[in-house]
Amino acid sequence: MHLQDIVRLVEGTHLNPEVDMDIKIRGGCGADLMSDVLASSQPKAVLLTGLTNPQVVRTAQIAEFRAIIFVRGKQPQAETIDIATQEKMPLITSPFGMFELCGRLHHAGLPSFESNVNVPSS
Amino acid sequence: MCPPARTPTEQETHGRRGRPITDHDAHEINRVEELSYDLKTREVMTTELRTASPEMPISKVLDILRIHRISGVPVLAEGNLVGIISLEDIVRAMEKNDLSATTEQYMTRDVVTVASYDSIVKAIRTFTEKRLGRLPVVDENHRLVGMITKGDITRGILVALQKDYKEEEVRRYRASHLFEDIISERTTLVLRYTIKAGDFTQGGKASSHIKRALIRLGADPQITRRCCIAVYEAEMNLIIHTTNGGILKLEVEPHRITMSTVDDGPGIPDTEQVFQPGYSTATEQVREMGFGAGMGLVNMKRCVDTIDLNSTVGEGTKLVMRIFIPDQTIGGRRDEQEDEYTKNH
């Protein structure tokens, strides 16, 4: 699924327009614990999270996410946007909550990229 | 049906034909824009010049244009640029059945030029403003030194972009052959980073540098991912838990990667307990940032082949993790798997 399509589905706002949005997203993962993100995600997914600190971008980068969506209309601090722009990570904010967003994306055909923790990462 | 009443904007006429600029375009434009300021007209212009003289018959000019498949030539009189004659001018002559006329009767005398030392963005602007197809390029003394068309500019930018791409390829190639090119009994590349305690803003920076280094070294994407997750958790632990920070070290060898952290305190009382999922001593502030879920060491263990944690309360902690590389993939380059796009479209 194209990131632009996802942005439309979540009625999101692109927070760092200088970053390329012509990206294919293969799955989704929703988490507020960074260790969960690192432990149970697969590459090339979009991260849905309620956290907005700069670590989210670093975590997403290390775990090879392709974009981050902040839930409940959260606005990240300037440092978060700076790091994301530097690392070419698109940031999107959506007015909806986590459950609603996961539901919308899953319903539109975006699979879960949360893997079983007991199995080494894909 | 009425045509729209307003006159189209300049951009609509010359530029993007009403197509909105997408983010992708914007991204591409950035580098191209940079190049259009960096590149000078002399770097992209044509220097093989076909010229006409004022006395030359129009029919002769037409021959030059046809033979060389160009649509206009500058007109020189004793080496000075006095005009430019294009197909349009010749068509005017043809309409009057006046092909035997001389060039000076039909040429455009008011010649728009660009300087050889101007950046191509100036030439682009001139093309757009004057609606011209080709421009003579002149030097400091206003002598003709070349001709430039929009095609020359496009070609120049494409060549420059390709050069950019090649340079990155060469850097990658050199790095990925490091282990083959340097001969020793045992070659080790050591990357060292000082991590400050409590420095959350910089947290993860060392890990992202490590990631870039491993990619350049041509490490397998799977191994890069495992290594980076382990290193990132370790880096965050130094930031979250140490008194004075510590050192994060990565040793890359063709057959294995060793990741280690050393700090001088406070030390861990029970090194078994910290491997229990959910066990955490993190503060509320750290938990609010999404860390301290008690999964750090569990995660690290999952990503590496061996993990060794030694700690003495009051002295410090040493963590050593290793990933063994099957077939020694570092140095023997492997391309990242194609992003096959069938699963979820």
pLDDT tens readout for residues B209-224? 999 899 888 888 889 9
Q: Which pLDDT band holds residue B320 (cuts at 50, 70, 90)?
A: very high
- Higher-scoring residue by pLDDT: A113, B166: A113
Closest CA to B282 of B299, B295, B269, B265: B295
CB contact under 8 A, A18 and B225: no
Write down the ipTM of this complex. Answer: 0.82
pLDDT, tens digit, for every residue of B96-111?
A: 888 889 999 999 988 9
The dihedral sign for the CA sequence A20, A24, A30, A35: negative
Say what the pLDDT of residue B221 is. Answer: 85
Kindly list the residues from chain A whose CB atom is less than 8 angstroms away from the CB atom of residue B298. 39
pLDDT over 60 at A47, yes or no? yes
Mean per-residue pLDDT, B41-62: 91
Is B200 within 8 Å of A53 (Cβ atoms)?
Answer: yes
Closest CA to B107 of B82, B133, B136: B82
Tell me the average pLDDT of chain A: 90
pLDDT, tens digit, for every residue of A53-69?
A: 999 999 999 999 999 99
- Tell me the percentage of chain B whose pLDDT exceeds 90: 37
Chain A's closest residue to B294, CA to CA, is A35
* CB count in 10 Å sphere of residue B324: 12
Kindly list the residues from chain A whose CB atom is less than 8 angstroms away from the CB atom of residue B289. 34, 51, 53, 55
Question: Mind listing the domains of chain A with CATH numbers?
Answer: 3-107 (3.40.1390.20)
CB contact under 8 A, A61 and B296: no
pLDDT over 60 at B139, yes or no? yes
pLDDT, tens digit, for every residue of B233-278?
A: 999 999 999 999 999 999 998 889 999 999 998 999 988 888 988 8
Closest chain A C-alpha to B342 CA, distance in angstroms: 9
- Higher-scoring residue by pLDDT: A83, B172: A83
Say what the pLDDT of residue A38 is. Answer: 87
Alpha carbons B166 and B145: distance in angstroms, whole number: 30
Mean per-residue pLDDT, B119-123: 88
Mean per-residue pLDDT, B18-37: 61
Prediction pTM value: 0.61
Say what the pLDDT of residue B6 is. Answer: 54
- Reading the block at residue B108, the tokens are 């455009």
Question: Mind listing the domains of chain B with CATH numbers?
Answer: 27-156 (3.10.580.10), 178-328 (3.30.565.10)
Say what the pLDDT of residue B216 is. Answer: 84
Say what the pLDDT of residue B1 is. Answer: 43
Mean per-residue pLDDT, B273-293: 86
Mean per-residue pLDDT, B149-164: 87
CB contact under 8 A, B232 and A51: no
